[in-house]
Chain A
């Protein structure tokens, strides 16, 4: 038995439309170990949230998984029925969404939403579930939870609401948490608190986390490894240290160049020319080739693939084999 919690193999997500089939995810492979935080980074539309939704089985029709496999601790979950997936969601996989202000149902007390989730996934009775809810609220750092458990979501601040959302994700001690932009909607000072909390909770429990964000700063602080996505494919995968300091994909390099540095040795922020292609106009070969300064003939005809760690770039791949 290995410690691999999540394994996604060659995932392909398609959206049939009137004008043809759009490929939103193309051959995405990644894995997360127990207690590990994998950052997934990329621009809007790169497919990072889509990957999270596909893992949760929450793709909006007509979107569908057209190929590949998703394994959770040795069980294949992409082929499960809707019924079985309901037990996996919230039970074995917890989710945290972007906007805590809108993630909670405004008309239900926070405690009721927690108790509901706990009772859906455990055998606890009403009283026990409530006790567990209190304990969870305390763990995520809500002061005086016994006074707050019967409050409505609007009576919490944004940061406190995201703590409640994290408590909801933890209800059934999941093996994996999919956190989609968990700090984007928060103030910077609260962002740091929330990422620290997330990190601490995973370390303590050994929960694997897939942290989806467009913020390289959050990734650098929180994640162990990082996957850089571009146009529905993984462009580069590696430890945070490697990817941040020694990016091997020209896109990652551009991404890093566009982050303002505190040390001031870069006078001007670098910008990647052009913009990410739309799903219906992904170029042949490497999706990045029209914007890449180093693109060669092979880049324009053949799609570079990575297996595990590395960069999906012909320059890097050929360099490694030579």
Chain B
């Protein structure tokens, strides 16, 4: 187990180094940072001084090592556009994205799992067929279309919910949350739904497939033979046996959601990291782009590593060695 852990962590480390290399290449290849930072009146001497100060005259490898060392300490330099520390900019936007992603994940589980169970239990019923069809639409509809449709319906036509922004936020330590104010919660609803549509269908189809398998097992039949009510058999005995892959999928998908949030954030003008990134792209604000790239990769790599490790740990059957099971031969 320890060897596995070390191997996984080492893998993660090398992936991050590779990503850092890509981020670094963006730095080197897109324009001249000095040109972007100085104003029109700067003299040739000023430029040369800045170039020297930024260490741009050093060798390629020296610069890469310095980039990685700084990045590891959370230092991505100064944003070209608003002359602020990049990490400060990102940490301001980080809570908004995480709240959006977590709420979307919860919605996808709370809605997706019951739908999966229902469509599996009542397969061939008209409702199940309708939901199956709907899930295909859900999978194939791009999330910006869903977002625009939601805005059209609930903000423009009905006027129930705000179409953009994050509402009022409250600071809890360095974390600014929108969950504590009514306007913040209202503002969260539409973007979260829009972001979760794809997830819902994914969870639903996964649970359905797993349930169909589980419902055929002997222990489900045996639970019925013990007199366990049908609903309890489905929602407790069978569903619990479907959760492993759902946990895996959800863990893996959180990384995806953070990346996908970019689109949703743009549609809803949600002040998260994705929106920050899009704005950075428009202004060729390379430090911000590089930092975003690194951060999203870090989240991806961390989640994947955690999922890999927990996989060997969650299921009680995988937890202990078979020697123990052999102790009670009858």
Contacts and interface: CB of A to CB of B under 8 A. Distances in A.
A complexed with B: yes
A107 B240 contact: yes
Contacts, number: 96
Contacts of B224: 58, 89
Interface string A102-113: 111111100001
A159 B329 contact: yes
A120 B330 CA distance: 29
Nearest to B244: A107
A154 B317 CA distance: 7
B325 A154 contact: yes
Given A86-B229, A87-B227, A117-B227, A106 B317 contact: yes
A190 B330 contact: yes
Contacts of A116: 226, 228
Contacts of B329: 157, 159-160
Interface string A77-106: 000001000111111000101110011111
A86 B311 CA distance: 36
Interface in A146-160: 148, 152, 154-157, 159-160
Contact of A157 (B226, B229, B240, B325): B325
Interface stretch (B85-93, B165-173, B214-222, B287-295): B214-222
B42 interface: no
Interface residues of B, number: 25
B228 A117 contact: yes
Contacts of B320: 155
A102 B219 contact: yes
B230 A82 contact: yes
B328 A152 contact: no
Contacts of A105: 219, 223, 237, 240-241
Given A157-B325, A190-B330, A90 B227 contact: yes
Contacts of A134: none
Interface centre among A121, A157, A165 (most CB of B within 10 A): A157
B316 interface: yes
B225 A120 contact: no
Contact of B227 (A89, A99, A108): A89
A58 B219 CA distance: 14
Interface of B: 217-219, 221-230, 237, 240-241, 316-317, 320, 324-326, 328-330
A54 interface: no
A121 B316 CA distance: 28
A175 to B, nearest CB: 14
A321 B217 CA distance: 49
Given A97-B218, A157-B330, A160-B330, 10 more contacts: A97-B222, A105-B223, A106-B219, A106-B241, A108-B240, A143-B328, A152-B317, A154-B317, A168-B226, A171-B226
Interface residues of A, number: 43
Contacts of A99: 218
A117 B221 CA distance: 14
A48 B204 CA distance: 38
B321 to A, nearest CB: 11
A168 B227 CA distance: 11
A97 B221 contact: yes
A105 B242 CA distance: 12
B222 A91 contact: no
B328 A90 contact: no
Q: Which 4 A-B pairs have the closest CB atoms?
A: A90-B227, A95-B225, A159-B330, A102-B218
Given A105-B237, A154-B316, A156-B325, A56 B217 contact: no
24 contacts: A86-B230, A87-B227, A88-B227, A90-B227, A90-B228, A95-B225, A97-B225, A102-B217, A102-B218, A102-B219, A103-B222, A105-B219, A106-B219, A108-B240, A116-B226, A141-B330, A154-B325, A155-B320, A155-B328, A157-B329, A157-B330, A159-B330, A160-B329, A168-B226
Contacts of A34: none
Contacts of B316: 106-107, 152, 154
Nearest to B225: A95
A193 interface: yes
Contact of A148 (B221, B225, B240, B328): B328
Interface centre among A148, A156, A165 (most CB of B within 10 A): A156
A163 interface: yes
Interface string A48-90: 0000000010100000000000000000000000100011111
Interface centre among B229, B320, B330 (most CB of A within 10 A): B330
B30 to A, nearest CB: 52
Interface string A214-241: 0000000000000000000000000000
Contact of A117 (B226, B230, B324, B330): B226
Interface in A26-66: 56, 58
B227 A86 contact: yes
A268 to B, nearest CB: 37
A68 B221 CA distance: 24
Nearest to B319: A152
B330 A193 contact: yes
